[in-house]
Amino acid sequence: MTDTNELGMLLRRRRKLLGKTLADVSKASGVDISSISDYERGAKQPTSGRLIAVCDALGIDILKELRGE
């Protein structure tokens, strides 16, 4: 994974695959809906803590993704 847009696409694809709404992910991660939307659109880059929280809510192993596995 190389940039904010790629990260956003990963988050959105996974959320849609799971059939979850932004509200579902927000509730599960503790990150507000508007921030998650910004991350998905590549408008904002999450802090490491928020990235981990959103990825955990979506079942994404971010370390594997960052390594390109």
Give 57: exposed, middle or buried? Use CB within 10 Å, 0-12, 13-18, 19+.
buried
Domain limits of the chain? Answer: 4-67
pTM of the full structure: 0.90
Give the C-alpha separation, 17 to 8, whole Å.
14
Instruction: For 3-62, write each residue's pLDDT tens digit.
Output: 789 999 999 999 999 999 999 999 999 999 999 999 999 999 999 999 999 999 999 998
Q: What is the pLDDT of residue 69?
A: 81
Cα 28-56-42 angle, rounded to 5 deg: 90
CATH node for 4-67: 1.10.260.40
User: From the centroid of its chain, how far is CA 24?
Assistant: 12
